[in-house]
Amino acid sequence: MCGIVGVFGSDRAGELAYQGLYQLQHRGQDSAGIVTADGEHWQERRGLGLLRDAVDFAELRGPDGTSAIGHVRYRTAGEVSTQETQPFVAETRHGRIAVAHNGNFPMAAAGRQLLMARGAPVITHSDTEVAVHFIAQAKGVRLTDAIKVAFAALDGAYAMLVMAPGTMVGFRDPYGFRPLFWGRRGKACLFASETCALTHLGVEEVHEVRPGTGVIADADGVREEVFAEYRKRRLCAFEKIYISRPDSVLDGADVSQDRYALGFRLAEEFPADADIVIPVLDSGQWAALGYAERSGIPYRPAMNRNHYVDRTFIKPEESLRDLAVAMKHSITRAWVRGQRVVLVDDSIIRAVTMKRTIRLIRSAGAKEIHVRVSSPPVVSPCFYGVDMRTKRELYAAEHGVQGVREYLGADSLEYLSREGMLAAFGDDAGASHCVACFTGEYPTPVPKF
């Protein structure tokens, strides 16, 4: 989970990139960076934490470049320190390039071995560096040819922006695991991981960067080019379930509509004899509303979040974590007392937070708690950029649905079926989404786990 943004051909490129990136902050809060280019003059700004702390907006206002790319990063466990902060800027045989990447290469370890065997060091812990090496090594008269050559050898999930003097290229892997969009704003060409950022920037007509395709902006305008051989489309189902912002559009539908449909379908598959439907905070909101409206059970957002409890507070010690959760969430008791509650969440990964939530609702006086999850059980790790890396983390994978229910202490627990999910997406044939984490069937080679 990362977010990327690109602006080509605007004299406010840096400022627009900053504003666009702000809209993608939910995709990563661990570091942020923006690289602007004005002919030969490049400026790099990166830092740790939220965009507002990492990059000084004041410096980007006014003419700072005619193109810019930006990146917000979600740090996965094990990575450390400052060096992974993207965008990367590299001097290559194709000239200077800046690279911003959202995705993951499941076989990057093999790529690293190959690079090392050839004598190239890999300095950061980031898969992106491997990709940069492949681009730099690839022979080709034009940068776009080098990119094609490089990624022919790198199976995986990537939505990527490459900025070079006088051009910007946005491209996606042939499966289209991770989203990427583009559009025009006056003479400028803009790219972003989600449509919400482009809409915010005033782009009227938003286009998808199609899987396996590159969108190239340069002095001649904007054109599309096929970058990779055809594959079946595999957009990550979790983008719709959880990752993308509700006001972003994927496959022509607002994500909040997909989530509503998931909840609607869930109510059909697994009705409950209950008095109220409670969403698990913001992320379960739309599914809960769909569930409520389909079932006729009143929707009651009775769970509140205390916005002043931040991650800092949670960090110090395990012993404080329980306290932090209790301080963070509260239940409006009047709605819950003596009621049979349907609790709707979008997914259950580690189960421990849901367990605490159920305890909280129980202590607020609920008579029964029926958990309904608007996606199937996650049973396999993701190798395409979502932070659920090892099977051990996945409670359902280890203990089964019944095990989860017992652990949670819920009166009932049901997950939406895979078919139901795909139907909600309007993809009954299951032909266009990656659902590997629900099935264990991966579209590409993955390492043993």
Q: Pattern of binders to a copy of itself over 347-386, x per CB under 8 A?
A: ----------------------------------------
Question: What are the C-alpha distances in Å from 434 to residues 163, 233, 236, 237, 386?
Answer: 29, 8, 5, 6, 12
332 or 353, CB closer to a copy of itself? 332
Task: Return the beta strands (E) in 294-373 as ranges.
Answer: 303-305, 329-331, 340-345, 368-373
Residue 414 forms beta bridges with which residues?
Answer: 372
Minimal distance, residue 146 CB to a copy of itself, in Å: 9
The reply to whether 239 sits near a copy of itself by the rule CB under 8 A is no
Among 192, 272, 276, 289, the residue binding a copy of itself under the rule CB under 8 A is: 289
Active-site residue, 236 included = no
Minimal distance, residue 257 CB to a copy of itself, in Å: 5
- Stretch touching a copy of itself by CB under 8 A, among 4-12, 210-218, 253-261, 386-394: 253-261
The reply to whether 390 sits near a copy of itself by the rule CB under 8 A is no
Per CB under 8 A, contacts with a copy of itself among 19-38 are 19, 22-23, 25-26, 29, 31, 33
The reply to whether 299 sits near a copy of itself by the rule CB under 8 A is yes
72 or 436, CB closer to a copy of itself? 72
Q: Which two tokens stand for residue 265?
A: 């379908």
Q: Which two tokens stand for residue 345?
A: 């969440």
The reply to whether 440 sits near a copy of itself by the rule CB under 8 A is no
253 or 401, CB closer to a copy of itself? 253
Minimal distance, residue 19 CB to a copy of itself, in Å: 7
CB atoms within 10 A of CB 39: 10
Who contacts 370 (Cβ-Cβ below 8 Å, separation ≥6)?
A: 272, 274, 340, 341, 342, 343, 410, 411, 412, 413, 414
Instruction: Give backbone dihedrals phi and psi of 430, rounded to 5 degrees, phi first.
Output: 65, 25
DSSP conformation class of 297: P
Active-site choice (2, 189, 196, 236): 2
- On whether the CB atoms of residues 128 and 157 are closer than 8 A, the answer is no
Question: Which residue, 377, 129, 340, is CA-closest to 237?
Answer: 377
Question: What span, in angstroms and rounded, lies between the C-alpha atoms of 72 and 90?
Answer: 19
Per CB under 8 A, contacts with a copy of itself among 115-144 are 116-117, 119-124, 129, 132-133, 135-139
47 or 165, CB closer to a copy of itself? 47
Question: What are the C-alpha distances in Å from 96 to residues 26, 39, 215, 390, 414?
Answer: 30, 11, 19, 36, 52
Per CB under 8 A, contacts with a copy of itself among 40-59 are 43-48, 50-52, 57-58
The reply to whether 91 sits near a copy of itself by the rule CB under 8 A is yes
320 or 431, CB closer to a copy of itself? 320
The residues that are catalytic are 2
